Structure 1
Amino acid sequence: MAPTLAMGGGCDRVDLVLATSKSILQIAKVLSGRQTEREVRKLLRHFIVHCMLVFDQVQRIRTILVPENDLLLRALGLFESLIALDATSNHPYGRQLGLNKRWYAMRTQNADAKLAFASHCLVLNQTSTLHALDESFNTWEEEVMARYPEDGLDWSLDDYNPPKEKRPEPSYTIHIAARLMFKALARSTSCECCTKHDARLCLRTYRTLDVRQDDDDETNYFEMLLSSHHDWQETRVHTIRKRVVRFIVDNGTQPSPPSKKKLDYTPMPVKKLCDQLRKMQAMVSKRLEFKVENGRLLKLRSEKSKFRIDKRKAPMSLQQFIRESPRSLTEKTKRILAVLLSYTVLHLHDTPWLQPSWNSSNIFFFQTLSSNIPLRPFIQTQLTARDLNDEAQDEQKPQYNAGRVELERDLNGLYSNNLDPDDLDPDDLNPDDIYTDPDDIEHPFPSLVTLAIVLMELYLAAPFDILAKNRDLHFPDNVDSRTRSLDVASVFNEYKREIPQNSQFHYAVEKCLDPRIWEDGNGRKLDDQALGVRIYEEVVRPLEDELCNAFDFIKIEELDATAENLDFRSWGQAIYQHEEDTSSRGTPVSLTEGMFSIQRHDWARINDSVSYCFPSPDLESSRHSVTSSKYLAAKFYDDEKPSDSHSRLEMEDYMQWRLKHQAVLRKFIDPFLKHPPANPVKIAVLDSGVDDIHMSLDTGQIKLKRNWTTTNKKDVADNIGHGTFTASLLIDYAPDSDLFIAKIAEGIPSPPEVVAQAIRTAVDEWKVDIISMSFGYPTNQMEGYAQLESAILYAYSKGVLLFAAASNSGANLDRAYPARDPHVFCVHSTDSNGNRSKFSPTPLSQEFNLATIGEAVESAWPVKLCNTETNPRCVQWKSGTSFATPILVGIAAFLIQYARIHLPDKAHMLKRQEKMKSVLLKISDKTQQSIARDGYSYIALNLFADNLFGKSKAFIDETIGELLKR
């Protein structure tokens, strides 16, 4: 069914802008690949960028756009002027309504029919109009960012109320069940074995409750690990509670309960927990099953283990991950952990499970026998009778002293009336009243203060003590609980600018630290029931919303199962399970199925308008890439992370990064090249071939193609996608260059001598300026590698720049070959902010360590490997040094092209490796005091003032000229 718009109000106008930007972007894509006039082709590329920006910005601020918003109306007016078709109605935006309807109807037509229709859609014959619209879109984009900035969204704090997904509140009785379970377990530890009984409780949302069919009760399953000698035993404890609601039938009588299903054995009361743990040591594949009933711990029949931990390896705490492996904290894992830990406080506050001194060092993750570390956090405590006694005493303590409450109220009244407490006359104070120093007022719930700390640690990916130290804040080791919340608030104030105000992390931390939120109108602590509701409303729910908004495929009701199937150590990628293994839900999956089982059905639910800019992965094509015949090629080509493992935020960050790069091209290249360059930069792409029919590659830039893997030298069809992906990136980042495609490998790594032949052909026959190599060998100690070394040295001697991928083995391996060759630029990978990618090799000391963006990169994917219904643009999202390489090659090509236009007498010097290196280093240095970030020289082009190309052209020319003169 075609989309319809009634155009009655602001939401309809927003929908029209989004729909039109989508249609024009697709039409411009179709036309740009076939357009022969260079000027028009450039303008079409500009409008592709404009459409993406308009879509992105309107989608971002749509909830606060009123029907008569001037920016919204201007965007509609610009689109209306760009369309050449006649209006189909008298509506003010009739051209857009007609275009969207007709273009939607073209979706089933072939490529030729789409091209024929697209040729008449836009005002391509009016170049002056296109230039004026181009400038108008630029102005519109600048005004949107100025009025509605992405960071520090002051405009959103009062008016911005994003619609909340309808989601039932969680059960607040988990808190009671957890307390009762602890009591039952602790009572069974009163033995004479003189050992500590430790427990690690799995932290979950407990959103899904099991409704028992036999007695209409609800069952909570608490999963944990128990130990008496640090030999952890998987355990599950059942707690039963009666349901509150009972349904009445029409005749007013209550139905008789169904007959209970009888066990074929009698549960055994547990007197000594350590006896049961000792007995299970010989049953390594079993899980202990307990039941809490009427305050007693009963043992049920053991079941098959579902979480086989590797007992030889110590668990890792969350603090260790934050301190030693912060790159494990992706946007997805941060947000999932934030939700799980907020639920921890909701369910376990004021119970022995959550001690007042808890912190990120008490949260543990276990490695399984399959060498994965599931995103399945546990909190550790000891099962001691002391906790039971302390709890009983706490219940008898008064919550607040009346005199203290009254004093707080009086002080609040003084402050609210702008009176200075120092003006108080001491004689006016009653000496019989009990007073407390206002600076000593404790936060009513210390566990919330700790949650604020952990949320800051997660968002900033740094331990709290380091955060404080970096701001010259020093607190004593034994922090006084009366000032702890003030100390934490001091650190938070120092980092407020680094946590955007529109982030729910920012909101949740503020709420956690505000003691007034957690008191009633009389200044007393909230009771358990009221506290649970308040925690959910003020902390948990906002974090849930942010998680679901960022990752559409994650559903809160399924979060526990989803998190457990993600590998924390591998940036939250899905855990691939073999057929002999079982998932936490007991369903066996194969290697290929396990890779996609989580998101196969969820991606289909992503809103179509959003998935256009951030398309859903093509699952069938992704399956193709993980077969055994392609595995070695993927490693040779250094591909990393499947398309569907990237978050929406990562995708958005990359799109913004690319747009900033393209803005530099539009400023310094496009106005000076009215026709194709007489001496274009020539780039050889040594990879797996290319898709001949993909519209993104049909730009006329591919000049020659040759296959070194078969006798048919003309067949360069890409059967695994890697070469198409890298070639399309080069077209994106070097749009004025000529490409020469060399297919040097496909299913298996190519012999080094084959690569050597391709290099010599690129140098001698194709006369290229740059060679791009997104692949690598783990060693140079192999037959034929001497020929490759010789070819590299030959290319270097001829003034050809060589770039190669560093590899994706992290610190496990050093740079790959040929990236390790001194005559080759080794390319490492970063995220969109220049932070080292976890998979990127360790930088070398006293070496030139180049890096650029290589995470969540979007590019073309072969049409034959795509499902064009779900992925009409035939694109994928990838991460790896393989994809940082063509991006950096594109930057190098831009520099050569810039020099040929603006510094023609010195341009040839940029083909010398040391000269190109000096210019790249200059781009990396933001100031004279800049140092390498994470040990890398991070290369990015943008128009920011501290970037080389954010300065005046005279300054740029003088700077590059000086570097090339040395």
Structure 2
Amino acid sequence: MANSGTPANTLAVIQLLVTTFATIRDVTRLLRTEEIDNELKAFYANVNANCTLMTRDWSRISKSAYGIDEDLVSRTLSHLGSIITTSSLKPLQGSISSATCYGGMRAFNQEWNLIQKQSDKSMRIQHVRSCTNFGKTLEERNRFIQRLNEYEDELQARYPDFQPDWISEDLLIKKSIRQPSYAVWNAAQSIFKALVACSDCECTPSHEMWAQLGLGTYRKASLNEEIDMDSGLDFDMFLSIKQDWQEAHILMSEEVKERAVVFQDDSEVKKPQTRKSIAKTKQMRVKRLCEPIAKMRTMAAHRLELKVMRDQLFKLRSERSTSLVDTTRSPITLEQFLKIGSRSFTERTRRILAVILSYAVLYLHDTPWLQHTWSSSHILFFPTTSSAIPLRPFIQIQLGQYQESRQDPDDLDDPDDLELENLDPDDLIMHHCPFLVTLAVMLMEVYFAVPFNVLAKRYGYDIAPDAESSVSTRRCVDVELVFKACREEIPENYQFHCAVDKCLDPAAWEDESGNKLDNEALTLRIYQEIVLPLETELGQAFTSMPIDELDRIAQELNFPNWDQDDVYEKFIKPSSLNAVSSVKIAILDTGVDLSHPDFEARVDNIKGKYNWLSPNSNKPHVITDRNGHGTFAASLILDYAPDAQLYIAKIAESEPSSAGIIAKAINHAVSTWEVDIISMSFGFPTCNTADYHELEAALAHAHANRVLLFAAASNSGGKLGHAYPARDQHVIAIHSTDTNGNRSAFSPTAMDHDINLATVGEAVESAWPVYLSDETSNPNFVKYKSGTSYATPIAAGIAGFLLLYSRIYLPDKASALKNRQKMQALLRQIAEKERGQTVRDGYYFIDLSLYADCLFGKSLDFIDATIRNVLST
């Protein structure tokens, strides 16, 4: 029941709640740094994130005039109290003892404050473990997290006005990662046997036959539910004769599930429930694989439908293709992308590829699909008819080669089976799992975006191409040497670093007798030591990318990274800048860390600074960013408009200051700095706030002086409308999407009969203040953030590029582009990739690239004519 007021005793209890959340946040941060179990590390990170959110929210609510929901306070405190072992706490000194209602919690907080000041790290950890118990089992810990999430949701529903509209929290993991199915390993084995059994034909002339198996997490159905064949174990493939690619879809029959387990621990192995049977359909036993492949050449836009039963292949009725793969073009290997370099890799593609490649080892190790000599040249990506290349990898193998040599590669692993007197010791395989050595190589290649031999040369090691796929001791030694040389460039807390280190450690894959782990133990170890850490880190970096949906999300991403940088470099030449005036952009935010390397290199871009929080001090131009938000946003503007002149107005420390102060900053930017664009990554939930009329007048003044205004739409999703000033008629509101233009969950609902503009605002990478970063783990001083706050400076930067472009190529029309409606119309035009295209999730997704469907992927004459037409209407 909510009270109408806020009694003093209630405020005291809320303060206890806030303090306890802060303590648990500090405790879990400490425990996570010392934890080696990745599952527990993820749990502590999750608790830490929840406590950070609720510390902030309850602190705000305690200062409000709203009635406080005492029942919610009480339930939340009781839940926190359930993890505190009060018997290990000393009674408090003074009038409050541990016997009172919340005495144990107060003692917990007080002892933590004392031990932080007086003890070393080992003693702090010992103390924390003695007085906390988050649960002994995964189920208990998950229940604790689930209840925290429930209270957080209830809090947001009860106090919607107190959710932040301008600062996005660090990326969080909200749900535990469900474990994959061991049945995929069995299915991959059966598919290969079935293909090989019918790949020997009598064609004249003879031909090579290849198979490409789709890679992914295969997390399509919960093992706790009934597995449907259409969503559980089906595989996308390509089969080819003489490089004539044919799409195929393979279904698995009943018996594959018989040995299915999940990768939990040695003490518990769960079996899935019986899956639904496949609907009865006509089927034909495949005797020679080349025959159905050849027949499909006459059936354009169709794919082979195949089923594996008892290691035999059957053909079903063919279906329409859904992939739109351009079979007239050759696939592109990962090795080719590596040779192109970092231009083809983003942080997102790096992390996704790392996870998918680790799953390939998990599911395909010790199967013919994953030869000891596999490499980036065996990983293929297929172009589509629209010239896109989805991040959808396939692993390739030649079926005929396997028929010619059926010797088990593992037979070479045991020196006792060899005539040692005739064998060079350097040729012995000392690492029981050479495929993991190759995974280490590929993780390094993906991280640095270069082929391994090129990376090796950087550090003085000349590795011959034919030695790169060797499985000998020399290969392991070479990889270890290169990793030791480059490991300092990979932060130690990055799972890339940890995964490579673990792959190269032979002892990690041996039992107590030094023998290779058996298949089940090896699979479990690969999941725990490599796959889980990589996918956990991916989930932390990109909250909009749940692991269970990673396969779908990856296929929707386009591999090459033709982005704003390429567009800018193509059209904005240094020689043309001298003839035009620079674009001037003001950013109203928390200031900027000018000591950051990004800004030290761009010192000439900073043309104005003013601290509106202390305008009358003797240092009004000190704009130190103590929050990070302003540094992050300002760097994004210069990423998208590298030659812009930037003017920094500090109007906040953490929360936006009064509307009156912001109004003064806007008037100063318009009249004194004479800027072209103002970026505002903040918002008020209502215009019924003090001095808002002054802010409205300032916005109207800016509009009258042809200054473009961009503001963050809001981070409240569908719970609230657009924030202020994004609602103002003179302002361009910016919404958030992922990199594919899909609406972010926190982005507000689009407005009817309006041009709703959006750009990327999820998992955006940008500069973070040096003094708020750990140089050891974050040597580049960057962070990933999500919110319309970060889509806004990107949109402002794109507008800056468009203004500069018009001044260079269309000088007679450039001034017209400073009109809000004209700029809005041009941004809408850029969002339309083809004639008749409708909005996406209610938004026009702004994305600059050199692709043919994009405006700046067309000829210069077409671009100029399009812009002229927009500005003339």
**TM-score of the aligned structures, taking structure 2 as reference length:** 0.50
**Structure number, greater radius of gyration:** 1
